[in-house]
Amino acid sequence: MQEILNAPFVAELIRTLTNMYRHGWDERNGGNVSVRLDEDALRDYLDLRAVRRTIPTGFDAPDLDGEYFLITGTGKYFKNAQYAPDRDLGLVRLAEGGRQADLLWGFTDGGSFTSEFPAHMMSHLARRRVDPETRVVMHCHPGNLLAMTFVHELDERAFTRTLWRMCTECLMVFPDGVNVLPWMVCGTTAIGEATARKMETARLVVWAHHGIYASGRDLDETFGLIETAEKAAEVYLKIAHLPICSSITDSQLHEIESRFGVKARPGYLDPAPGSVLPETVQPMSSWA
């Protein structure tokens, strides 16, 4: 049996959590990450029959039965995960129709998985229906996106269009756009279900006045989605109160589509090139 702390999936998660903390996205215990793993990737590191504890999940999810997830613990600080990974992370296998999580490794202080477990598990299910290669769900509290939910209308099309126009590469990175949930109590099955519904049409879901969820095929891709949207939100907050002298037009976004073979979410760009954004100074309120 090999040491699980040397397993690439553990090392990569620790690296990612440390990076997320350094970006300022995860104050205190803010944020949580889950990674779906194949049984074959685990056999060299764990006796998969040795269940240390069972933890009730509080929901039914028969489609997740037998699935393995490496996941952050509730109340744990991302900045500390590198120093105590077996305390701050856990590896679970879902059982009993998804109502139970068998703990195979981690949470050594008696802890449990993130309070956002429902949002993670339901988002995994929703995204896998769209893309079976989906493995990662990531949640954090990036300051600029969070701030933007206080000053920008929460309409998903308008929110997405603003972000796309803040950096040329946004449309390439998230052509499916950003969905937005209005404020809800976090850590509940209800917000989990609502997030999963939003995940059916986009890999990024903003939680108004709280943070963001992202899903992807691996940690880098998922991190990059948040990083790109957060950069766009930062630019927006830098310019939103200033007179706008020049900006990216819908016609230019159509050019990106043709050049890079991406397709913007249907209905999000004006079909008549150049007809939405005049090139002259406009107040921010006329942008959406």
- Name the β-bridge partners of 34: 71, 137
The structure tokens 């769900």 sit at 137
The smaller minimum CB distance to Zn ion, of residues 106 and 211, is found at 211
**Length of the chain as a residue count:** 288
Q: Which does 29 bind (CB under 5 to 8 A by kind): Zn ion, ligand 13P, none?
A: ligand 13P
Question: Site for Zn ion (CB under 5 A): how many residues?
Answer: 1
Instruction: Report whether 117 contacts 177 (CB < 8 A).
Output: no
Q: How far apart are CA 269 and CA 96, in angstroms?
A: 45
Least distance CB 194 / Zn ion (angstroms): 14
- Cα 267 to Cα 50: distance, rounded to the nearest angstrom: 51
Q: Which is nearer to ligand 13P, 212 or 269 (CB)?
A: 212
Nearest approach, Cβ of residue 2 and ligand 13P (Å):
28
Task: Answer yes or no: 116 catalytic.
Answer: yes
- Token pair, residue 231, equals 């950069």
| Interaction mask 7-46, ligand 13P, x per CB under 6 A | ----------------------xxxx--------------
Burial of residue 145 (number of CB atoms within 10 Å: 0-12, 13-18, 19+): buried
Which residues 6+ apart lie within 8 Å of 272 measured at CB?
A: 250
Considering the complex, what minimum distance in angstroms separates the CB of residue 111 from ligand 13P? 10
Q: Segment 148-207, which members bind ligand 13P (CB under 6 A)?
A: 186-187
Rounded to the nearest whole angstrom, what is the least distance from the CB of residue 32 to ligand 13P in the complex? 4
Q: What are 266's two structure tokens?
A: 């249907």
- Strands of 136-140's sheet, edge to edge? 53-56, 100-106, 89-95, 68-72, 32-37, 136-140, 211-216, 204-207, 178-181
Q: Which does residue 195 touch among ligand 13P, Zn ion, none (CB within 5 to 8 A, set by kind)?
A: none
Structure-token pair, residue 107:
């949470």
Q: Which of residues 77-136 bind ligand 13P (CB under 6 A)?
A: 114-116
Question: Looking at 116, 156, 221, 230, which residue is catalytic?
Answer: 116
By beta-carbon proximity to ligand 13P, the closer residue of 97 and 187 is 187
CB-nearer residue toward ligand 13P: 137 or 269: 137
Contacts of 66 (CB under 8 A, 6+ apart): 93, 94, 95
177-216: which residues touch Zn ion (CB under 5 A)? 211
For residue 220, the minimal CB distance to ligand 13P (Å) is 21
- Residues with active-site annotation: 116
Q: Residue numbers of the site for ligand 13P (CB under 6 A)?
A: 29-32, 72, 74-75, 114-116, 139, 186-187
Q: Residue numbers of the site for Zn ion (CB under 5 A)?
A: 211
